[in-house]
Amino acid sequence: MAEFKLQGSGGYVIAELTEEQAKKADLGVGKLFLAPIGKLEAEKMLKHYCNNCETEFDNPPKIQLEESNNEEVADNLILVERGQYTCEKCSSIIGEYRVFKKKDESSEIGKANPENTE
């Protein structure tokens, strides 16, 4: 585990990530992002910064959970949970997350595959 700065739409979070999580967060633009990781455990988030307050806090942001009612968003892909990381002081959104699951884990549907460029 190592500490990384993860960008959100309204600030950033400093969190401990596994190598796999860091790879998910890297969209190839020189920064790591919160959204691709999914939900982070509060214990893994060490600090957060709010663009609205222009303040860094030495603790994790608040997590606000929205129920998704297991909404099917694509073939074989279910949205299980959606939520927001919010500032402890002003409640502005630091970033958002989504948690997905597949109905059929063995199916290729819902899996991103590299494009064949031959």
Ranked by mean pLDDT, the top range of 22-31, 73-82, 99-108 is: 22-31
Across the range 3-17, mean pLDDT stands at 96
Dihedral of CA 91/100/46/23: which sign? negative
Q: What is the pLDDT of residue 117?
A: 47
The type of residue at 70 is: N
Q: Which residue has the tokens 């400093």?
A: 14
DSSP state letter for 23: H
Q: What is the pTM of this model?
A: 0.77
Secondary-structure breakdown of the chain: helix, strand, coil percentages, each rounded to the nearest 5: 10, 50, 40
Q: Per-residue pLDDT tens for 59-82?
A: 999 999 887 678 788 888 888 888
Strand, helix or coil for residue 48? strand
Nearest to 45 by CA among 79, 81, 102, 83: 83
Band (pLDDT 50/70/90 cuts) for residue 101 is confident
